[in-house]
A and B are shown apart, each in its own frame.
Chain A
Amino acid sequence: DSGVTQTPKHLITATGQRVTLRCSPRSGDLSVYWYQQSLDQGLQFLIQYYNGEERAKGNILERFSAQQFPDLHSELNLSSLELGDSALYFCASNSGSPYNEQFFGPGTRLTVL
């Protein structure tokens, strides 16, 4: 158990819909990272937040957005969903240093029908 929690575990929805994925970092960690894992693209970094502020952005689509709240939990919002958005979405946390290990949550499996 990494100490990072993600909800829900599974999510099934239809094209065009909007969903919110939630992540609670390990106690004391200020930084949250979001990754997407699909069969064709592998594991890809989406975005990072540090203490409520966006710090780094990766291959995140404009239809996707994220935020980190004062209690440090984070939400990833996916809108206008397409079939290709079906993937595993992982959240990771650490202290914020790029040299410190990232602790990954169990992931949310999103299926878009």
Chain B
Amino acid sequence: DAKTTQPNSMESNEEEPVHLPCNHSTISGTDYIHWYRQLPSQGPEYVIHGLTSNVNNRMASLAIAEDRKSSTLILHRATLRDAAVYYCILNLEGSNYKLTFGKGTLLTVNP
């Protein structure tokens, strides 16, 4: 499986934008980039996913580099509720259905 690299932790202030980076230099042309997050004491929660183009939804934006070797999850205005572990996951086309979680980035949001 192609691997992803994320910082172990990041810190942000409430109501400020947060940019969570993910490197995936061995990504193949058909890998989708998924982001999930896990709030304390809860199951993982889907955030967003994309293939080549930047994507927006009500939770976040996903910016994908032109060469697709990296991506950035953008939380436009962090709230205390956004404090969680964020996982960047590559989902291989057709070859498997599992989500392979790495260690993720622990986001701390300061009031």
Residues of A within 8 A of B (CB): 2, 4, 31, 33, 35, 42-45, 48, 55-56, 58, 90, 92, 96, 98-99, 101-107
**30 A–B contact pairs at CB < 8 A?**
A2-B43, A2-B45, A33-B99, A35-B99, A42-B101, A42-B102, A42-B103, A44-B101, A45-B99, A45-B100, A48-B97, A56-B96, A56-B97, A56-B98, A90-B43, A92-B44, A96-B97, A98-B92, A98-B94, A98-B97, A99-B49, A101-B34, A101-B49, A102-B44, A102-B46, A102-B99, A103-B46, A104-B45, A106-B43, A107-B43
Chain B nearest Cβ from A55, distance in angstroms: 6
Q: Which of B38, B46, B91 has the most CB of A within 10 A?
A: B46
| Dominant secondary structure of chain B at its interface with chain A | loop
Q: Mark B69-111, 1 if CB is under 8 A from A, else 0.
A: 0000000000000000001000111101111111100000000
A33 contacts across to B, CB distance below 8 A: 97-99
Which of the four size classes fits the interface of chain B? 20 to 34
- Which residue of the partner chain B has the closest CB to A105? B43
A42 contacts across to B, CB distance below 8 A: 101-103
Say yes or no: B44 contacts A98, CB within 8 Å: no
The list of the 10 closest CB pairs from A to B, nearest first, reads A104-B43, A45-B98, A101-B46, A43-B101, A98-B97, A104-B44, A90-B43, A56-B97, A107-B43, A48-B97
Say yes or no: A58 contacts B43, CB within 8 Å: no
- Which residue of the partner chain B has the closest CB to A6? B43
A101 contacts across to B, CB distance below 8 A: 34, 46, 49
